[in-house]
Amino acid sequence: MDEEINKLQERGKLGKEDAQNLLEKLKTRGEEEEAKLKQHIKEALKEAIDELGLATKADIEALKDNK
């Protein structure tokens, strides 16, 4: 990504400040997409665990406390 932005900058199609702004926007968007993906995966795993009837940490702790 940096290479492509540098090429645009060298060709005069993108100023230094614009390049920095673009990189920052892309970084922010990438981080947002990563967070969304992690949340989606987390929800899918929770759903799969529920459907399979697997014990969770809370279930195991509850059993330990009942002894």
pTM of the predicted model over 0.95: no
Distance CA 67, CA 61 (A): 10
Q: Structural domain boundaries of the chain? A: 2-65
Question: Per residue in 48-66, pLDDT tens?
Answer: 999 999 998 999 999 998 8
Angle, helices 2-10 vs 16-52, to 10°: value is 160
Q: Which tokens hold the place of 16?
A: 């230094």
Give residue 48's pLDDT. Answer: 94
Residue 66, both tokens: 């009942």
pLDDT above 90 covers a percentage of the chain that reads: 52
Contact 5, 22 (CB under 8 A): yes
**SS3 state of residue 53:** coil
Q: What is the pLDDT of residue 26?
A: 92
51: its two tokens? 């459907």
